[in-house]
């Protein structure tokens, strides 16, 4: 015999309107508006009836002992404990059971039995729904979880179980993995690993200026007064990011980019132009014929190293491909998103502090005290050094990373979710303030004219001095430029999770 939801003699879960769930056995309802229960350990507890869910209040009302009347005016006092196959099972006060054909009860009593059956089905369905919602939440399917919960009464929506499951389903996971398909000339799947960044505010921009000097550990002065890249991160300004996002733990690797090339046969800008730009161990810059993402020329590549000789156009093409390979909106991070994740709550010149003393613990950069560094050595494998406290690797040094924005000068105004995707009316070519005529002629391919839209790179690189690796440092290049230390990392928009 199936036990009805209205059988109050058995222990069951009760739900308060505040959402608290507790297990207890009903004892009695009192005239003062309270309900007495016994906990599983036998101790009593009192709850105001008005604090129970509407469904539980109905259950108590239906589960009270009452006088049942048949059409022949025969009566029996007791509690309805089950209704099955058209027969009502009533427990009398002495504990004995009486079975009555439901059709022989009075019309009023039949209505009560029907109400009890509906309540029985409701609770049965609700318990199953809890299991489904928990499963949907575990699978991060927020939309399905919310739709399932919406079928139930508003007061039961306050269930802690349902609320926690739904909120868990809505909330982004701490980490996200995107499968890219088969590895390049190998077995298994290549994948991107990203970390969720919560919304927040920070002060954006360079703490150091071109006139700042920093001492190396051995005491040698490092001057950047004529560095053409170091003066465009001022003034400092407050930025608020109102939306969370995912950002790659590391720069995109050679192996990950190779999967893209293998799948699409895409030709990079370096492939099209037949060369890339790099430097010798003696510090001389030159055009490297045939250099590209696969073979940068002056140093050896490896699957676990960041892909290099990449233009902004190439990075965008990779993101579009990764979006199609997954159900996510993969893109380059905005400049503000990049710096917010790089700082990870810090306000210093570098994530590690205001001096470059500890920079080598998180950055592979141009310094003879950096383990493994020498002129022309190239980048190291991603994730080789310590991450920042938010879990991101190589935000300083290793490779310059493309971000989504056009370059424009800061105004000092507070900004909310800034993203400069429109070409500014006027771009001041800051470099020319510091460069000689000879420098300008030699560097034209890299720098370009002030009327050509340039995109931003962040983070510095393995052949960049300390100030060029600071959290607020900005470099800008034409979108088709591709030096031997240009790379990128990806971001994912949250709205892409619902696709």
User: How far is the C-alpha of 380 from the C-alpha of 105, rounded, in Å?
Assistant: 84
CA distances from 446 to 232, 361, 428 (A): 17, 30, 16
User: How far is the C-alpha of 184 from the C-alpha of 357, rounded, in Å?
Assistant: 39
The pLDDT score that the predictor gives to residue 471 is 92
The pLDDT score that the predictor gives to residue 337 is 97
The pLDDT score that the predictor gives to residue 308 is 94
The pLDDT score that the predictor gives to residue 358 is 82
**β 474-477/455-458 pair status:** antiparallel
The pLDDT score that the predictor gives to residue 211 is 44
**β 245-248/189-197 pair status:** antiparallel
CA distances from 347 to 67, 136, 433 (A): 75, 40, 28
CB-based contact 304:381 (threshold 8 Å): yes
Give the contacts of 417 (CB within 8 A, at least 6 positions apart).
Answer: 240, 241, 242, 243, 336
Closest by Cα among 409, 394, 400 to 446:
400
User: How far is the C-alpha of 27 from the C-alpha of 496, rounded, in Å?
Assistant: 51
Give per-residue pLDDT as tens, 80-108.
776 767 788 888 878 888 888 888 888 88
Question: Is 9 or 463 the better-scoring residue by pLDDT?
Answer: 463
What six digits make up the tokens of 336? 């503000």
The pLDDT score that the predictor gives to residue 357 is 78
pTM: 0.65
Average pLDDT over residues 160-182: 71
First-to-last alpha carbon distance for the chain, in angstroms, is 46
Give the contacts of 195 (CB within 8 A, at least 6 positions apart).
Answer: 174, 175, 176, 246, 247, 249, 390, 391, 392
CA distances from 447 to 228, 372, 437, 454, 478 (A): 10, 30, 13, 9, 7
Closest by Cα among 400, 456, 403, 468 to 206:
468
Give per-residue pLDDT as tens, 123-145.
666 666 666 655 655 555 555 65
Give per-residue pLDDT as tens, 11-42.
777 776 555 677 888 888 888 888 898 988 98
User: How far is the C-alpha of 130 from the C-alpha of 138, rounded, in Å?
Assistant: 12
Comparing 57-61, 82-86, 278-282, 432-436, which segment has the lowest mean pLDDT?
432-436
CB-based contact 291:276 (threshold 8 Å): yes
Residue 85: Cβ-neighbour burial (10 angstroms; 0-12, 13-18, 19+): exposed
Give the contacts of 171 (CB within 8 A, at least 6 positions apart).
Answer: none
Q: Spell 182-210 as b/e; 16+ CB within 10 A means b.
A: ebbeeeeebebebbbbeeeebebbbbbeb
Residue 168 banded pLDDT, cuts 50, 70, 90: low
- Please report, to the nearest 10 degrees, the dihedral formed by the alpha carbons of residues 179, 183, 184, 186 taken in order: 180
Please report the DSSP string for 427-493 in residue order.
Answer: ---GGGGT--HHHHHHTHHHH--TTS--EEEES--TTS-GGGGSTT-EEEE-TT--BTTEEE--EEE
Give per-residue pLDDT as tens, 192-209.
999 999 999 999 998 765
Please report the DSSP string for 36-73 in residue order.
Answer: EEE-TTS-EEEEEGGGB-HHHHHHHHHHS-EEEEBTTS
CA distances from 486 to 337, 440, 457, 458 (A): 19, 21, 8, 10
Percentage of the chain with pLDDT > 90? 30
The pLDDT score that the predictor gives to residue 188 is 67
CB-based contact 102:86 (threshold 8 Å): yes
User: How far is the C-alpha of 376 from the C-alpha of 300, rounded, in Å?
Assistant: 10
Q: Spell 369-401 as b/e; 16+ CB within 10 A means b.
A: ebeebeeebbbbbbbbbebbebbbbbbbbbbbb
The pLDDT score that the predictor gives to residue 136 is 59
Beta bridge partners of 252: none
The pLDDT score that the predictor gives to residue 394 is 95
Question: Is 112 or 247 the better-scoring residue by pLDDT?
Answer: 247
The pLDDT score that the predictor gives to residue 281 is 55
Average pLDDT over residues 311-327: 94
Residue 453 banded pLDDT, cuts 50, 70, 90: confident
The pLDDT score that the predictor gives to residue 279 is 66
Residue 4 banded pLDDT, cuts 50, 70, 90: low
Residue 1 banded pLDDT, cuts 50, 70, 90: very low
What six digits make up the tokens of 161? 């179980």
What domains does the chain contain, in order, with CATH numbers? 12-170 (2.30.30.700), 175-498 (3.90.1580.10)
Statement: residue 429 has pLDDT above 50: no
User: How far is the C-alpha of 321 from the C-alpha of 330, rounded, in Å?
Assistant: 9
User: How far is the C-alpha of 98 from the C-alpha of 88, rounded, in Å?
Assistant: 8
The pLDDT score that the predictor gives to residue 133 is 59
Question: Is 105 or 165 the better-scoring residue by pLDDT?
Answer: 105
46-50, 166-170, 365-369, 397-401, range with greatest mean pLDDT: 397-401
Average pLDDT over residues 163-169: 58
């Amino acid at each position: 015999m199936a036990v009805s939801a209205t059988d109050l003699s058995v222990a069951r879960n009760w739900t308060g309107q505040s959402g608290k769930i507790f297990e207890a056995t009903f004892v009695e309802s009192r005239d003062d508006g309270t309900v007495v229960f016994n906990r599983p350990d036998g101790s009593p507890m009192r709850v105001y009836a008005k604090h129970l869910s509407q469904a539980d209040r109905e259950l108590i009302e239906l589960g009270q002992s009452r006088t049942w009347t048949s059409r022949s005016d025969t009566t029996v006092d007791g509690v309805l404990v089950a209704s099955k196959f058209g027969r009502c099972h009533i427990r009398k006060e002495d504990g004995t059971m009486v079975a009555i054909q439901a059709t022989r009860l009075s019309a009023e009593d039949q209505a009560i039995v029907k109400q009890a059956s509906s309540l029985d089905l409701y609770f049965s369905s609700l318990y199953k729904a809890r299991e489904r919602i928990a499963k949907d939440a575990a699978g991060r399917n927020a939309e399905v979880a919310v739709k399932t919960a919406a079928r139930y009464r508003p007061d039961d929506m306050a269930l802690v179980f349902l609320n926690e499951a739904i909120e868990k389903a809505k909330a982004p996971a701490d980490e996200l993995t995107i499968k890219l398909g088969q590895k390049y000339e190998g077995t298994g799947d290549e994948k991107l690993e990203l970390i969720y960044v919560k919304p927040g505010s920070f002060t954006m921009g360079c703490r150091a200026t071109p006139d700042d000097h920093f001492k190396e550990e051995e005491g040698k002065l490092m001057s950047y007064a004529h560095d053409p890249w170091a003066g465009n991160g001022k003034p400092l300004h407050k930025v608020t990011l109102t939306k969370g996002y995912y950002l790659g733990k590391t720069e995109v690797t050679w192996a990950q980019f190779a999967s893209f090339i293998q799948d699409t046969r895409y030709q990079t800008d370096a492939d099209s132009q037949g060369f890339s730009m790099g430097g010798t161990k003696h510090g001389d810059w030159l055009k490297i014929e045939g250099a590209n993402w696969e073979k940068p020329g002056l140093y050896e590549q490896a699957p676990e190293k960041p892909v290099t000789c990449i233009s902004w156009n190439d990075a965008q093409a990779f993101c579009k491909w990764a979006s199609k390979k997954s159900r996510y909106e993969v893109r380059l991070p905005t400049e503000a998103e990049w710096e917010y994740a790089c700082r990870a709550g810090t306000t210093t010149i570098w994530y590690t502090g205001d001096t470059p003393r500890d920079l080598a613990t998180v950055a592979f950069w141009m310094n003879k005290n950096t383990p493994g560094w020498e002129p022309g050595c190239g980048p190291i494998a991603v994730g080789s050094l310590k991450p920042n406290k938010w879990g991101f690797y190589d935000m300083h040094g290793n490779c310059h990373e493309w971000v989504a924005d056009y370059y424009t000068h800061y105004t000092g105004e507070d900004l909310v979710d800034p993203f400069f995707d429109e070409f500014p009316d006027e771009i001041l070519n800051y470099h020319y303030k510091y460069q000689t005529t000879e420098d300008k002629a030699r560097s034209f391919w890299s720098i370009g004219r002030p009327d050509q839209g340039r995109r931003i790179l962040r983070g510095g690189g393995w052949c960049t001095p300390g100030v060029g690796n600071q959290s607020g440092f900005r470099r800008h290049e034409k979108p088709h430029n591709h030096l031997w230390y240009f790379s990128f990392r990806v971001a994912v928009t949250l709205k892409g999770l619902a696709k």
